[in-house]
Structure 1
């Protein structure tokens, strides 16, 4: 992560922004993911972060037009998602749900290994290894065969573990802190930012060691360069959820909303990179 910086503060304007799905019934959207094969986006929605039936997934085409508001419904409170071999893996509070991307049907359900773990975000590396954050137990879980297990727990370093991004040899995990975990040794390195940032949600690499980050507390969108310098890109009255960055267009997609006025949408920010 700590290599030569690519994006500097003065070179990071937002060239254009769009709002998708405003006023169509999105419900506290949390996460977004792009399905390259099917050319569409999936957005997770829900109310209370607890078991139930109010949660659903929405489907948008690649240009931001709604395909189906409740493409998959009767979920608890879906949050993070990951795609692997035509299947969409969804963190749904107390279980992982596997959705067939062709039919929108839930194919499998994998229960949490520890009660009230608070499954939050998912990432799958190129080896096919699947990792899930468990916010309430300050843990990272892993799929082993047909079972979800506790892979690593640390109440300090992984406090309120939330966002996760898996690479071949390491995991980037954001919660109260931002940390890198070595997959071989399970050693945790806490990363420092300048200025200090905490309470991370969305995490996505950009170029040459840089990352885009969203935060929960004082919700904002940040760019973190390879030297640990943080530049705030977006902050207003609307929260920013989990995000996806599209390298080809230098565009970040992120669910947004304001609970007081009940306005929810997906924002698409085109960023200028040198």
Structure 2
């Protein structure tokens, strides 16, 4: 069966607009990843979803394609953002060591299990969690549960694996969930943003690998796809995201991000709502 999109049928202007749109998406996702610690996937997934739908790909697979491609893009973006935050001393290495193995495992399980979850199921996960995150971002105060992390090792590992699992299925690097979790346990927000960049890499690598495995042999994927990962989209989005992430990290230390958080919460609420309605 032939893919839904025949590149030979597109004129030069359409191809240029497609490349420009993907490049802008990458730049915006990288900037937000460094600035707010939300993870660029929260922007990439809905843009790719609506784009793939517009070009006529089967609804049954476009959610998987959007999530998998987002995870692949997050790999270089996380590296770039992590290096920028590390230079400012805002990556909590002890926390990365504590949560890292469980995060990796949860994300890998999420990527592999994606083959058993429908496109509607992935959209529901993105929509519900996205709405909860939007409410949290719009809140004038951070929820504080405790002045320290849980002392139990298994509670920490369970919490980390669940976040890794959900983040993998949403196609996000985890900052969207890590930052509110860490601030709930009284971590300074800048340190939470920096640490989430490192943890995002431990989500994106196994998550993307799982989606590649689960997408092998699936019909009607875009040309030049590796499993559910669209390689052309990664090659366009990733460089722009990689380059912009350090600027976002720099702005995070120079700006009061309250109004930016409100604007993004509004955008996220609309996007998540539309994903649920679709």
Fold shared per TM-score above 0.5: no
Higher helix share: 2
Q: TM class, shorter-chain normalised?
A: under 0.3
TM-score, normalised on structure 1?
0.25
Higher strand share: 1
TM-score, normalised on structure 2?
0.25
The answer to which structure, 1 or 2, has the higher relative contact order (CA under 8 A, 6+ apart) is 2
